[in-house]
Structure formats: structure tokens, C-alpha cells
Structure 1
Amino acid sequence: MIDPDQLADPAVRAFVTAVNAGDRDAFGAVLAPGATMSDDGTERDTARWADAEIFSSGGHMAVASQSDDGRALVVDYRNDTWGQMRTAWRFTVTPDGQIGRFETGQA
């Protein structure tokens, strides 16, 4: 597994760190205003999804690999709702260093 401190992209590093710490404020700070996301190809409300899949259910990301300069991850993701699963994550980072969009789904 790759330690979050070793992730190449600073915004993605902050995202993973916030998820693993259960830190809603840090998570919100790394997202650009109006950030969008999809889960298994379905568009979701970012705030509602994050509450259910991360913060209310103890979400945790164990990064197995990174590519695309750290903006594409393969992650062993777990939470109290679904247990553990291998997932793929892709991030779009804005010019000012925030995440404008992320996509996740089964890997």
C-alpha cells in the first residue's frame, strides 16, 4: 500500500488524508465550489454521497497504486455499509489546486 503522504498530486493527497481522518472540513476545503462526482458511472450529489459513503460509515482509503501523475488511484476502500472492495478513482484538479470532479467505481 502507498502511504497517503507519498501520493504525487497534492489535492489528491489532501482528499485521501481527509477521508481517512473523517475530517469533513478538510474534505470540503479540497473540493472546488460546485465539485461533481460519479459512483459506478452514476452522477451523485457530492455532499450527500460523501456523508453516506465516507463520514457516516467510517470510510477509509488504502491506496494500492497511483498513475496519471497521482490523479488515478486503485484503492482498497472500506466502510461500515459495504465492507471492503477494490475501487478505481479518477480526479480532475482545477488550476488552483482543488478537486473539481472525482469518479469512483469498482476496479
Structure 2
Amino acid sequence: MTLPVKQLSDPVVRAFVTALNAHDEPGLLEVLTPDVTMSDDGSDRDVRPWLDREVFASRGHMDVVSEGGDGRALVADYRNDTWGSMRTKWAFTVEDGKISRFETGQA
């Protein structure tokens, strides 16, 4: 069973997931700090090329299964046209109303 995105506790994380699922590139970039960092399976990645490859070009989508950490830690079934579907974990650092870091990887 998935958690409706509109019920996610943290408004910034909710905006990130909403924009990601809508493939709304400007909306997604709006919730990120200009110097946002990220990691995928424990390896730091360049955010913009990663988003282009893993989200926008491959039609990424998150179905949130659970949340914790005041809404800043998610477990989600993530799918895209490149990798198919997999269970993933996401952790977000929010500063001044924007995401300054996110970490994802297989759960």
C-alpha cells in the first residue's frame, strides 16, 4: 500500500515528490538549493546529470510506502524506464525551506 503524496508530512519533501512524479523539472529545481548535493547507493553524484538521467529522461516515479524522520526519510517503490522498479530509501536535509542534500539507494 502506498502513502498519498498529499499526506507527506514535510511540505518541502512533498513538493519534491510531487514535482518528480509530474516530471516538472522547474518545480523540482525550485525546491533544491543552488548548491544541493546528493548520493546514490552511497556514492556522491552530480545532481543535475543524475536528475536528467534517473528522473526526467527515464520518466522516474516514486510510490511512497512509508515515511519517518519528521517526514524527511522515505521508503518508496521507485521506477523508471531504465531500471524498472525497485524499493528505495530516501533521506532529505532541508535548510531554509529547500532541500540542500538528498540521499537515495536501494532499501
Range of TM-score over shorter length: over 0.9
Match of 2:44 in 1: 43
- Runs of 4+ displaced beyond 6 Å: none
1:84 aligns to 2:85 (yes or no): yes
TM-score by length of 1: 0.98
The residue matched to 1:81 in structure 2 has which SS? Answer: coil
Task: Determine the C-alpha separation between the residues in 2 that align with 1:9 and 1:48.
Answer: 26
Residue 90 of structure 1 deviates from its aligned partner by 0.2
TM-score by length of 2: 0.98
Task: Determine the C-alpha separation between the residues in 2 that align with 1:97 and 1:81.
Answer: 31
The residue matched to 1:5 in structure 2 has which SS? Answer: helix
The residue matched to 1:85 in structure 2 has which SS? Answer: strand
Residue 67 of structure 1 deviates from its aligned partner by 0.2
Unaligned runs of 5+ in 2: none
Match of 1:27 in 2: 28
Residue 33 of structure 1 deviates from its aligned partner by 1.2
Task: Determine the C-alpha separation between the residues in 1 that align with 2:102 and 2:24.
Answer: 18
Task: Determine the C-alpha separation between the residues in 2 that align with 1:51 and 1:33.
Answer: 16
1:105 aligns to 2:105 (yes or no): yes
1:65 aligns to 2:62 (yes or no): no
Task: Determine the C-alpha separation between the residues in 2 that align with 1:6 and 1:104.
Answer: 21
Residue 85 of structure 1 deviates from its aligned partner by 0.0
Task: Determine the C-alpha separation between the residues in 2 that align with 1:3 and 1:31.
Answer: 22
Task: Determine the C-alpha separation between the residues in 1 that align with 2:5 and 2:99.
Answer: 16
Task: Determine the C-alpha separation between the residues in 1 that align with 2:6 and 2:48.
Answer: 25
Residues 34-93 of structure 1, C-alpha deviation per residue, up to 9 Å, x if partnerless?
A: 100000000000000000000000000000000001000000000000000000000000
Q: How big is the alpha-carbon RMSD for the aligned residues of Structure 1 and Structure 2?
A: 0.4
